[in-house]
Amino acid sequence: MSALPAHAPTPAGRPGVQRAPARRPGTAPAPRLRVVAAPEQARARVPFVLFCIAIVGAALLGVLVLNTSLARGSFEQSDLRSQLAKLSESEQTLNSQLEHAASPKQLADAALHLGMVPAPPEAFLRLSDGTVIGNPTPATGGR
- Radius of gyration of the chain from Cα atoms? 56
4: number of Cβ within 10 Å = 8
What are the extents of the domains in the chain?
A: 46-114
Cα separation, 101 vs 94, in Å, equals 10
DSSP three-state, residue 123: strand
Q: Answer whether residue 5 shows pLDDT above 80.
A: no
> Could you report the per-residue pLDDT of 82-118, keeping only the tens digit for each?
999 999 999 999 999 999 999 999 999 999 899 898 8
- Single-letter amino acid code for the residue at 130: G
pLDDT tens by residue, 13-65: 556 556 666 666 677 777 788 888 887 877 788 999 999 999 999 999 999 99
134 close to 123: Cβ distance less than 8 angstroms:
yes
Q: Which pTM value belongs to this model?
A: 0.45
Q: Note the pLDDT tens digit of each residue in 25-39.
A: 677 777 788 888 887
CB 84 within 8 A of CB 109: no
